[in-house]
Every structure is written in structure tokens, then in C-alpha cells.
Amino acid sequence: MPLVVSRFVVSWLLVLAAGPAVGVTAQAVHGGSSSPPLVRPNVVWLSVEDMSPWLACYGDRTVATPNIDRLAAEGVRFSNAFATTPVCAPARSALITGCFATRIGTMQMRNNSPSKSAIAKNPDAYREIPGYEGLPPAFVRCFPELLRANGYYCTNASKKDYQFREPATVWDASGGKAHWRNRASGQPFFAVFNHGGTHESQAFPKARRRPRAIDPDKVPLPPFYPDTPAVRDAMARTYDNIAAMDVWVGKRLAELEEAGLLESTVVMFFSDHGVGLPRGKRSCYDTGTRVPLLVRLPGGRLAGTVEPRVVSFVDFGPAVLSLCGIEPDERLDGVPFLGPHARQGSGFAFCHADRFDAVYDRVRSVSDGRFRYVRNYLPELPYLIPNAYRENLPMTADLYALRERGAERPEQWQMAAKRRPREELYDSSSDPWEVVNLCDRPEHQERLASLRRTLDDWIAATGDLGFVLPETRLVREKIWPPDGKQPQTPGAKISRLDELIVLQCDDPGASIGYRRVGGKPRRRFMVYTKAFLPVAGADYEILTHRIGHRPTRVRHTVTDR
């Protein structure tokens, strides 16, 4: 049985996780000044898509997952980890920035990439929806850029989908072939590997079937689903995909072991939100937002323990920075829960649901790990709003039919409802599927009032942009004022300091990068942190890019002074 560790003890012990017995030495450079050499770990993210904690280490033994079981046995299992939204792109914007999507204008699903399924069903679906990018405050950077500025080699294989075009300074390499193996000798690394085999689309009829891990006739069904062949097929394929994903995890761990790097690397395994089936993905319940999070620390530290503190996607980037010896900006929404800069968070996980493809929803939710409060701002909608992409799942038609004929048992009331209550309250400990609404129970009125206030305070503190509608108004007033046109990042100002080149930008929110022009393969942009010594007579390309604005590139030829 796993050891449950108190919040205080885990926070204290995790500070030791970045201790001198771990990692490799690299010179930290930031803001033009040198810091003492730090011994820092490598960090690997194993990110999977559309998956709830339906795993043996979380109590679900439907299919075998030996490699994930190993991670849990050798690491820390977080029992209260949450996505900030039950859909991928807004969640990824929170992961990469440490900011809530509702603060930076990335809460509407695919604000710059219309759904092909929605357009195929209705060519006019996006006629009133503009394309735009999110706009974080000027102090915000995509956190891998800060790692690169401090000597880390950063790779992403390969999904991005951040709701904005990331600056070219964020990754050393991003794509299907990006890998930590390509770093300089002895260079610490941060590497993201993304697995799409558990994605919602992988349960579509045309998707490749993985080896059968569970018989559809024996697969367990959540109580809110009808028992139909299509539902059983979707559930079984979901578990088949989880079993296949476990093999992928094993391969990633084997790569580190074979290179002799597993004991100098922090491995974080998580999913980008809950299960990709209806009432999971796009729903502000545990099935849509509670995610697995396993963290394997070098040297067997805290192996087999369970950490109950509430952590959220906005915390993941700050945690990686802290692990790597970098103190995150305290103005971020996220709080580091690992490494020497770890500190306690609020104890709450906040969640939002807004436009999904071309159809609007608006839900806000907060969980303390046990009790979840849900506020429905569009109570006139059913729970299962129309979604052309989701309708590729045959089971969706069975749920529409259930709504028309009415619930067959009490647990199906949400699926059968044509309207929603304005408020919902659930005890996810005694009611893990969250189907018993406690809002009217006298014994829960004090807790209900407290969670109401907590949610109101969060909405006010983040300046929730999901309420700025229509989106044309959002773009004109908040993202790209005053005319809704995307600004251009100012070009770099280039000067000389003796033999060194100095770069500046008038926009304090701009990332600055540079690279020498010529040669093959094409050189990546280096993150500018301080004046650098150029090659005489060489041409350089200088990049300035404020997230949400258009980037600017200028050429500069180095001449003798």
C-alpha cells in the first residue's frame, strides 16, 4: 500500500530532489548576468492525450499497465492533479505559460484554427468567430525559453497547439524527430514526448485498432452511460489504447536507462485532460479535468508515495523551472510544487469551459480535491452540447437518444437533462462519478457558500476574458486594441559594445533571439540574454516576438568598427 505523505513533508522533501547528487553541471545565464554553476536534473515530460486516471495505480485494474505501475512504484503519485479545462488547446496554453487561459484570452477552443468537422457540417459555423491569438502579460514567457536561457536543451515531440504562435526561441527542436539525444555533450535537457494514441479520435470507427486488452462485453461502464454496443465498443477501445500507451511509456523509460540517464532525470507522466469520451472531454467534472500525474525523482526519492495536495496545469511549468534551479516569476498564476523553490498553492483547482469548436458553452468550476462546485452560466443548454467532432463517435447518437427518451436510472440525469441547474456541488470521494448534486442539502450550505466565494474571487482576480463576448469585441478591446488588428513586434535595436553585439527591443514582452545565417542544417535561434561576440563578416538574423503579436526578423552584417 502506498505511503501517503503530508503536504508539509512532501514540500520539504521535494526541495531535496534538486540536490547535488542529481543531474549535470551547466552555467546558468539569465538577464545578462552569470550565476554560480548549478547541479541540475534533466526533466522529461511524458504527455498523453484525453485520458483520465483509469490506471491500476489509481485503483482501476481493467487493463494491465506495467510500465506506468513502475513509474508509480518508483515515484510520487499525485492524487489531486487537474487540468485547467477539459479540452486540449486551452489546457496547453496554461501548461506552457503558467497562466490561466481565461486571463490571457486563450479559453475559446482553437481561437486561430477552425474545426474542419464543424465546417463540414455547417460551412457558416465560423462566420461570426474571428481568428486571433492569446496575449499574455509582458512578463510572461513560454517556460522552455527560460530553461534555454539557463543552458538547457529543450525539445518537443511534437504537439504544440498553444492558441498562439510560440516564439522561435522556445524550443531547440520541435517535431517528430526532436529528441534529447541531439544536445551538446553534458548539456542538461528538458524534453517533451507527446502520445496521441489515447486521443478521442482513436476511438472513432476509422481509427486503427490497437491489440484487444479487454472484451467489450466485460468492460466496466460509468453509471451515466446507457449499456449499448456502441458505448461498450468506445469504452473497450479506450482501454485498449491505454494498454498500448503503456508500451510507449516503457520505450521512453528504456531510452533513458540505456543512455545511463534515468537516475539524473525527473520523469513526469500526465495527460492533457480527462477521458476523450462524452461527459469526460468538454465537461467540467472529474472525468474531464482530473488527470494522472506521476513524478519519478532520481535516486528513488519518495518512491511509492502519494501526494494529496491539489496541483493544476498552471503549476507544471513553474515546477519544472524550480526543479532546474530557476525561481519562477511570482506574478504567474502557477505555483511550483517541486524543487528548491517549491511553495504551497491555494489548495484549489479552477476549471473553465467555453467555446468548443463553433458552439459556445460557459462553465466555471472549482475543486478542493474532494468537493467540486460547478456554475453553469448557460443553464438553458443540455449537458451534451452539439459538437461535430465528437459525433464521429457512434456512442454520441446513443446519448442523444437517451436524452430524448429520458433517464433509465437516477445516475443518468445529467445525460438526459435538456437544461442544467445553475449550480452543482459534488463530493467526489463518496460520489466519484459526480452524479449526486448536493446543492440543496442543508448540511452542505456552508461549504457551498465558501466555494461560491472562492470561485468569484478567482474570476475577479484573473479578469476572466470568457465573459467578453462576442469574440469580435474581445479581440478589439482586450487582445488587439483599439481596432482588432494584430500588432507587429518592434524590430530589434542593434548596437556595439566594443567587440560585442547588444540587442534591445522597445516591447518589454518581446522574446529576442539571434542566429548566424548560412550553413546546413539551418541554425536554431539562440535566446538572447546578454551581449555576445559575433563572427567577423558574418550575417545574423535577429528575431523579436511578443506572444500574440507578429514576429519581426531583421538581418545584420557584422562589420569592423
Global pTM?
0.93
25 - beta bridge partners?
A: 39
Q: According to the model, what pLDDT value does residue 559 have?
A: 86
Question: What sign results for the dihedral spanned by CA atoms 234, 235, 239, 242?
Answer: positive
Which CATH architecture fits 3-207+242-353?
A: 3-Layer(aba) Sandwich (3.40)
Residues 153, 58: Cα–Cα separation, whole Å? 33
Whether 35 has a pLDDT exceeding 70, the answer reads: no
88 annotated active-site? yes
Domain locations along the chain: 3-207+242-353, 493-557
User: Cβ(311)–Cβ(79) under 8 Å?
Assistant: no
SS3 state of residue 545: strand
Which CATH architecture fits 493-557?
A: Sandwich (2.60)
The backbone region for 70, taken as left when phi is positive above 0, alpha when psi lies in -120 to 50, beta otherwise, is: alpha
The backbone region for 260, taken as left when phi is positive above 0, alpha when psi lies in -120 to 50, beta otherwise, is: left
**Angle separating helix axes 394-405 and 229-258, nearest 10 degrees:** 140
The backbone region for 294, taken as left when phi is positive above 0, alpha when psi lies in -120 to 50, beta otherwise, is: beta
- Please compute the mean of the pLDDT values over residues 341-370 and round it to a whole number: 97
- The amino acid that residue 30 corresponds to is H
Q: According to the model, what pLDDT value does residue 415 have?
A: 97
- Per-residue HEC secondary structure of 530-553 comes to CCECCCCCCEEEEEEEECCCECEE
Per-residue pLDDT reduced to its tens digit, 238-277: 999 999 999 999 999 999 999 999 999 999 999 999 999 9
Side-chain-side CA neighbours of 104 within 13 Å: the count stands at: 31
Closest CA to 46 of 195, 188, 176, 258: 195
Whether 237 has a pLDDT exceeding 50, the answer reads: yes
Going by pLDDT thresholds of 50, 70 and 90, the confidence category of residue 366 is very high
- Please compute the mean of the pLDDT values over residues 466-481 and round it to a whole number: 98
Catalytic residue (choose from 57, 88, 99, 505): 88
- Please compute the mean of the pLDDT values over residues 398-415 and round it to a whole number: 97
Per-residue pLDDT reduced to its tens digit, 323-350: 999 999 999 999 999 999 999 999 999 9
Task: Return the residue matching grid coordinates 517549491.
Answer: 342
Going by pLDDT thresholds of 50, 70 and 90, the confidence category of residue 522 is confident
